[in-house]
């Protein structure tokens, strides 16, 4: 416990202390701490457990690359699993639990697993657990896996926020290079968004010394911040650019102090990628011990939060970036030993069991220490470039993949482009961005010597810290011929942890290359996939839940329905009265009422698509299965629209208002589809024709009055048209009144009883409803819901498309073969009616079914079965089933094999393991002659 807070320095505000708990122990910190820096300052080293072997782990890094320390956080009533302690500001009152341990990271119950590590190499699970089978072992393994835990009992997290934004340029990364780019582009007149995942902009300037334009880096940064403000650059801190998508969209996730995370979808003209680079570990045995950490991160903790990571520090390095680290640690009072591979000195292994206590060099030198700061060089953060399908080039001097060339709309600068020295990075800006005037920095050149894991290296050398992938695992993969980079990844799980291999992938590839005689670029990289860092589901889901998800459409008369206690339900995307009152026994009562007197039904969702123009009739002749052009003005005709496959796509009544004006009515769930189909064929096949198509469904409400008292109800409601059968026969339409309040009366029936559809501009529907409802009640009837209507239409054998038909039903299967045989002109789907399949004799056909076993209504979804073979065979199924309203027995409709020729035969039904018997009959149960239409 030797890390500690220095008495002065850093960004932390010592006048604002705070405290939180970690694994039940209090941790003190200051405003300006991250959770990680406060934990580090507390002196506690073991802060996490690795995924597989449950090895003790401490903090490695200071950003999104952190592989080791995650915590489940209770934040008041809310709960966040797998919190990255390196990214979150310390907050008072948080209760943290290390994510993959029980009861605590310090004393994990499963810590013993590491003793068996030799028997649990990568992919061991593919080689065992055969007997008796995997199911026996799986539950225990599931419980051991996982990282943090979800807490279902906590308060639901609020909806994420989402925002769309347009600008000229998004600069990703607000280090000195990103800031310089943002300033330059803004000065040249561009609108710029500058994004950084840290809590402050400045990047390395926040903890590395630099001289820019002759002044200390901190001074330059302060001036730059003022300039950015003055220029109006949008600066988003704590914001991660996590993905680049098609057509130049860049997605950002912003972590906010005052609300849930916010997703930004930004569409800039150009993206400047200045995302920096990530420091790599060094390959030596036991390089995963707590106390071994990134030198760059440690410098950050020292300079920003005044946390000295140890008193006796070994700086192990292969590059020049650690020169400043060693000097800073020494200046802060630590005893520092540098082990620099550039001078031929390398660490062979770290000593210690629960935390590092020393190192042994390859030459045998033993150095006691309490902290090892390592730098294996830097890996350019090229993720977004690669996501944008940019190619990568291996830079043998800098030992990193770097962008080969800019891709359209995206240019990479700074360390992300491999310019690891600041002077070099800034000097490249004029050429890459076309900026005339950029700051000049003094910095030492970057110097590095290769130091990769070597085949046969002794000890356990960790490559992927979180997933416990060691050099031996990579060797095992090579031995088993899992040599492609994707096989390496999937077989060993290297790079598949929550850090997505930011610190580990390159070392794994280098070792695989060495094992198979290939260079690193020959091994190649895995595909870079979004997100760059994990993104909360809430950000991506946004405010789309509950009633905002696939919102239902509303009736103009909804308030009227609610007033009389309607039970509303989602029917084909519309919120409609199922029945009135909360008790569904009302359904049959409503149906009986409609049969005996009159029912008033809100049929507004019924599709009403107007087809207008001199060529409309010829057009509809092509669209419809039935002939349309022979219809006289004022007449209606029931018919089908087929898909080109010959399947019945929709049915409905076609109304001819006048010579040039038709209303195509269609099922409420099919309005958009029918409208699209009409437009498609108009534009494709009738491009020069004089036709206009208009979907009038939303603007028109339709109230249907049905029953023996329907005519009287209309009259009582004050609709004083001549409703006599001679003036207004069945299957005709007429206008009543004029102007805006005109009613369109259509005499069609979906119940078998005398019925009138009354259509009116939707905002005028509620008063009309009131009049009709009062009149219906006066006639002994009343409102009915859609469930009652389903009974009425089923008794009459009227079908509902999509319920009583399926995706194979042809019109002949519904008993309508006239147009196929007789229609003169070509129509949609015609050719498909003459295929072998359509002409097959054993097709499923619409039939009626009656219970033949004395039990109640036949269950919907029951299948007819043929038991003549060795195994049962389905011969179709029941599609609708209802108790009778006019009839004293239940009725059912179904699609049954050869059904049309088998009326009178009994069949066996299968339903959920039970058998029933049913008699096939014609699908019309009630009034086959149609006398009730005129009653």
Name which of residues 232 to 291 contact other proteins (CB under 8 A). Answer: 243, 245-247, 249, 251, 265, 267
Please report the sign of the dihedral spanned by the C-alpha atoms of residue 770, residue 776, residue 780, residue 783. Answer: negative
For residue 859, count other CB atoms closer than 10 A to its CB.
17
- Residue of the chain from 4, 165, 734, 830 that contacts other proteins (CB under 8 A): 830
112 makes contact with other proteins (CB under 8 A): no
Distance CA 429, CA 435 (A): 7
Distance CA 230, CA 192 (A): 13
- Residue of the chain from 831, 889, 903, 934 that contacts other proteins (CB under 8 A): 831
Quick check: helix, strand or coil at residue 648? strand
- Residue of the chain from 587, 838, 847, 886 that contacts other proteins (CB under 8 A): 838
Q: In whole angstroms, how close is the CB of 336 to other proteins at the nearest point? A: 36
531 makes contact with other proteins (CB under 8 A): yes
Q: Which of 806, 805, 796 is nearest to 891 (CA)?
A: 796
Distance CA 482, CA 614 (A): 70
Q: In whole angstroms, how close is the CB of 841 to other proteins at the nearest point? A: 13
Distance CA 220, CA 229 (A): 14
Which part of the chain contacts other proteins (CB under 8 A), choosing from 197-205, 217-225, 773-781, 806-814? 806-814
Which part of the chain contacts other proteins (CB under 8 A), choosing from 219-227, 333-341, 471-479, 611-619? 471-479
Closer by beta carbon to other proteins, 479 or else 690: 479
Helix (H) or strand (E) holding 805: none
104 makes contact with other proteins (CB under 8 A): no
Distance CA 930, CA 579 (A): 27
Binding mask 416-455 for other proteins (x = CB under 8 A): ----------------------------------------
Which part of the chain contacts other proteins (CB under 8 A), choosing from 76-84, 199-207, 398-406, 416-424? 76-84
Closer by beta carbon to other proteins, 644 or else 906: 644
Which part of the chain contacts other proteins (CB under 8 A), choosing from 361-369, 634-642, 735-743, 834-842? 834-842
Binding mask 119-158 for other proteins (x = CB under 8 A): xxx--xxxxxxx--xxx--x--xxx-xxxxxxxx-x-xx-
Q: In whole angstroms, how close is the CB of 784 to other proteins at the nearest point? A: 17
Which part of the chain contacts other proteins (CB under 8 A), choosing from 16-24, 41-49, 285-293, 826-834? 826-834
Q: Which of 88, 30, 8, 1 is nearest to 303 (CA)?
A: 8
Residue 373 exposure: Cα atoms within 13 Å on the Cβ side:
33
- Residue of the chain from 540, 618, 696, 887 that contacts other proteins (CB under 8 A): 540
Q: In whole angstroms, how close is the CB of 141 to other proteins at the nearest point? A: 6
For 337, the token pair is 């030993």
553 makes contact with other proteins (CB under 8 A): no
Question: 475 in the Ramachandran plot: left (φ > 0), alpha (ψ -120 to 50) or beta?
Answer: alpha
For residue 629, count other CB atoms closer than 10 A to its CB.
13
Q: Which of 821, 860, 861 is nearest to 839 (CA)?
A: 821
Beta bridge partners of 893: 848, 880
98 makes contact with other proteins (CB under 8 A): no
- State the chain's maximal CA–CA distance in angstroms: 114
For the segment 370-389, give every residue that binds other proteins (CB under 8 A).
Answer: 387, 389
Burial grade of 409 (CB within 10 A; 0-12, 13-18, 19 or more) = middle
Q: In whole angstroms, how close is the CB of 682 to other proteins at the nearest point? A: 9
Q: In whole angstroms, how close is the CB of 47 to other proteins at the nearest point? A: 18
Please report the sign of the dihedral spanned by the C-alpha atoms of residue 79, residue 82, residue 87, residue 89. Answer: positive
- Residue of the chain from 518, 660, 910, 917 that contacts other proteins (CB under 8 A): 910
Helix (H) or strand (E) holding 819: helix 818-822
Which part of the chain contacts other proteins (CB under 8 A), choosing from 212-220, 366-374, 679-687, 884-892? 679-687
- Residue of the chain from 92, 437, 522, 570 that contacts other proteins (CB under 8 A): 570
Question: 777 in the Ramachandran plot: left (φ > 0), alpha (ψ -120 to 50) or beta?
Answer: alpha
801 makes contact with other proteins (CB under 8 A): no
Closer by beta carbon to other proteins, 342 or else 803: 803
803 makes contact with other proteins (CB under 8 A): yes
Alpha helices in 232-273 (DSSP H): none
- Residue of the chain from 430, 434, 807, 928 that contacts other proteins (CB under 8 A): 807
Binding mask 871-900 for other proteins (x = CB under 8 A): xxxx--x-----------------------
Closer by beta carbon to other proteins, 44 or else 804: 804
Distance CA 545, CA 537 (A): 12
For 270, the token pair is 């150009």
645 makes contact with other proteins (CB under 8 A): yes
741 makes contact with other proteins (CB under 8 A): no
The DSSP symbol for 518 reads -
Which part of the chain contacts other proteins (CB under 8 A), choosing from 329-337, 708-716, 732-740, 869-877? 869-877
Distance CA 34, CA 304 (A): 10
Closer by beta carbon to other proteins, 137 or else 394: 137
Closer by beta carbon to other proteins, 675 or else 709: 675
Instruction: Give the list of residues 6+ apart from residue 311 with CB closer than 8 angstroms, or none.
Output: 2, 333, 334, 335, 370, 371
- Residue of the chain from 74, 237, 449, 484 that contacts other proteins (CB under 8 A): 484
Which part of the chain contacts other proteins (CB under 8 A), choosing from 287-295, 375-383, 543-551, 606-614? 543-551
The DSSP symbol for 546 reads G
Closer by beta carbon to other proteins, 91 or else 734: 91
Distance CA 597, CA 707 (A): 6
Q: Which of 852, 444, 855, 806 is nearest to 647 (CA)?
A: 806
Q: How far apart are the first and last CA of the chain?
A: 96
725 makes contact with other proteins (CB under 8 A): no
Q: In whole angstroms, how close is the CB of 467 to other proteins at the nearest point? A: 10
Of how many residues is the chain composed?
A: 935
Distance CA 500, CA 505 (A): 8
Closer by beta carbon to other proteins, 130 or else 230: 130
Closer by beta carbon to other proteins, 130 or else 929: 130
For the segment 41-70, give every residue that binds other proteins (CB under 8 A).
Answer: 51
Q: What's the CA angle centered on 788, arms 876 and 860, to 5 degrees?
A: 20
Q: In whole angstroms, how close is the CB of 128 to other proteins at the nearest point? A: 4
Q: In whole angstroms, how close is the CB of 815 to other proteins at the nearest point? A: 20
The DSSP symbol for 131 reads S
Q: 33-61 burial by CB neighbour count: b if 16+ within 10 A, else e?
A: bbbbbbbbbbebbbbbbbbbbbbbbbbbb
- Residue of the chain from 331, 405, 549, 935 that contacts other proteins (CB under 8 A): 549
486 makes contact with other proteins (CB under 8 A): yes
190 makes contact with other proteins (CB under 8 A): no
690 makes contact with other proteins (CB under 8 A): no
Beta bridge partners of 851: 918
Binding mask 290-329 for other proteins (x = CB under 8 A): ----------------------------------------
- Position of tokens 């995924």? 51
Distance CA 758, CA 742 (A): 10
* Residues in binding contact with other proteins, number by CB under 8 A: 119
For the segment 848-867, give every residue that binds other proteins (CB under 8 A).
Answer: 859-863, 865
529 makes contact with other proteins (CB under 8 A): yes
- Position of tokens 């950084």? 196
Closer by beta carbon to other proteins, 380 or else 865: 865
Spatial contact of 244 and 408, defined as CB atoms under 8 Å apart: no
């Amino acid at each position: 416990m030797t890390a500690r807070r220095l008495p002065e320095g850093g960004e932390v505000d010592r006048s604002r202390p705070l405290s939180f708990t970690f694994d039940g122990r209090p941790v003190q910190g200051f405003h300006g701490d991250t959770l990680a820096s406060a934990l580090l300052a507390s002196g506690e080293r073991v802060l996490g457990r690795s995924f597989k072997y449950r090895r003790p782990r401490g903090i490695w890094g200071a950003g999104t690359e952190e592989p080791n320390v995650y915590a489940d956080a209770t934040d008041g009533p809310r709960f966040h699993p797998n919190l990255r302690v390196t990214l979150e500001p310390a907050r008072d009152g948080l209760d943290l639990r290390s994510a993959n341990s029980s009861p605590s990271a310090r004393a994990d119950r499963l810590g013993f697993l590491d003793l068996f590590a030799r028997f649990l190499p990568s992919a061991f699970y593919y080689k065992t657990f055969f007997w008796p089978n995997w199911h026996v072992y799986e539950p225990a393994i599931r419980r051991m896996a996982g990282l943090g835990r979800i807490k279902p009992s906590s308060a639901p997290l609020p909806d994420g926020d989402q925002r769309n934004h347009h600008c000229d340029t998004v600069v990703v990364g607000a280090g000195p290079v990103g800031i310089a780019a943002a300033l330059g582009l803004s000065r040249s007149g561009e609108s710029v968004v500058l994004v950084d995942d840290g809590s402050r902009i400045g990047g390395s300037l926040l903890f590395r010394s630099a001289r820019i334009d002759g002044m200390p880096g901190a001074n330059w940064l302060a001036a730059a911040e003022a300039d950015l403000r003055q220029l109006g650059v949008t600066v988003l801190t704590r914001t991660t650019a996590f993905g680049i998508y098609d057509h130049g969209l860049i997605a950002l996730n912003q972590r906010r102090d005052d609300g849930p995370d916010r997703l930004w979808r930004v569409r800039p003209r150009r993206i400047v990628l200045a995302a920096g680079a990530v420091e790599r570990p060094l390959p030596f045995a036991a390089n995963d011990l707590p106390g071994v950490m990134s030198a760059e991160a440690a410098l950050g903790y020292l300079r920003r939060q005044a946390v000295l990571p140890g008193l006796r520090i070994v700086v192990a390095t292969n590059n020049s970036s650690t020169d400043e680290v060693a000097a800073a640690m020494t200046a802060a009072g630590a005893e520092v030993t540098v082990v620099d591979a550039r001078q031929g000195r390398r660490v062979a292994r770290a000593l210690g069991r629960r935390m590092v206590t020393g190192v042994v060099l390859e030459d045998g030198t033993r150095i006691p220490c309490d902290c090892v700061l390592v730098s294996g060089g830097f890996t350019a953060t090229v993720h977004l470039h690669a996501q944008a399908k940019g190619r990568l080039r291996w830079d043998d001097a800098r030992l990193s993949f770097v962008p080969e060339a800019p891709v359209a709309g995206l240019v990479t600068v700074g360390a992300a482009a491999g310019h690891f020295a600041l002077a070099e990075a800034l000097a490249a800006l004029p050429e890459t961005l076309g900026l005339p005037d950029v700051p000049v920095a003094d910095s030492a050149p970057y110097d590095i010597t290769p130091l990769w894991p070597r085949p046969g290296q002794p000890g356990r050398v960790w490559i992927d810290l979180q997933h416990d992938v060691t050099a031996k695992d990579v060797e095992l993969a090579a031995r088993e011929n899992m040599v492609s980079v994707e096989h390496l990844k999937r077989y060993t799980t290297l790079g598949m942890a929550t850090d997505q291999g930011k610190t580990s992938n390159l070392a794994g590839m280098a070792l695989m290359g060495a094992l198979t005689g290939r260079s690193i670029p020959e091994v190649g990289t895995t595909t870079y996939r979004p997100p760059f860092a994990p993104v909360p589901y809430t950000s991506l889901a946004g405010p789309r839940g509950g009633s905002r998800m696939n919102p239902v459409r509303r009736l103009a008369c909804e308030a009227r329905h609610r007033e009389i206690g309607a039970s509303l339900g989602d029917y084909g995307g519309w919120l409609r009265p199922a029945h009135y009152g909360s008790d569904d026994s009302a359904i049959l009562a409503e149906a009986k009422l409609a049969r005996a007197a009159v029912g008033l039904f809100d049929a507004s969702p019924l599709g009403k698509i107007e087809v207008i123009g001199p060529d409309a009739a010829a057009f509809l002749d092509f669209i419809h299965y039935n002939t349309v052009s022979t219809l006289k003005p004022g007449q209606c005709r029931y018919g089908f629209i087929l898909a080109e496959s010959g399947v019945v796509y929709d049915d409905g009544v076609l109304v001819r208002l006048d010579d040039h004006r038709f209303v195509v009515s269609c099922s409420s769930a099919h309005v958009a589809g029918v409208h699209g189909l009409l437009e498609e064929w108009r534009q494709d096949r009738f491009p020069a024709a004089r036709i206009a198509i208009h979907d009038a469904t939303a603007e028109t409400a339709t109230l249907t009055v049905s029953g023996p008292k329907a005519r009287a109800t209309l009259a009582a409601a004050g609709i004083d048209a001549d409703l006599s059968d001679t003036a207004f026969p069945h299957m005709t339409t007429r206008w009543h009144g004029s102007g805006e309040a005109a009613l369109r009366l259509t005499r069609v029936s979906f119940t078998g009883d005398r019925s009138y559809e009354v259509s009116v501009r939707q905002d005028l529907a509620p008063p009309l409803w009131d009049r009709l409802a009062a009149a219906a009640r006066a006639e002994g009837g009343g409102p009915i819901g859609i469930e009652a209507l389903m009974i009425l239409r089923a008794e009459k054998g009227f079908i509902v498309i999509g319920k009583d038909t399926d995706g194979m039903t042809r019109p002949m299967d519904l008993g309508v073969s006239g147009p196929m045989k007789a229609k003169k002109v070509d129509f949609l789907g015609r050719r498909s009616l003459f295929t072998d399949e359509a002409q097959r004799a054993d097709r499923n056909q619409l039939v009626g079914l009656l219970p033949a076993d004395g039990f109640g209504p036949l269950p919907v979804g029951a299948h007819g079965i043929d038991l003549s073979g060795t195994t049962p065979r389905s011969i179709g199924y029941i599609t609708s089933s209802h108790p009778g309203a006019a009839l004293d027995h239940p009725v059912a409709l179904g699609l049954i094999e050869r059904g049309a020729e088998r009326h009178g035969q009994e069949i066996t039904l299968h339903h959920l393991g039970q058998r029933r018997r049913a008699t096939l009959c014609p699908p019309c149960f009630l009034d086959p002659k149609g006398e009730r239409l005129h009653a």
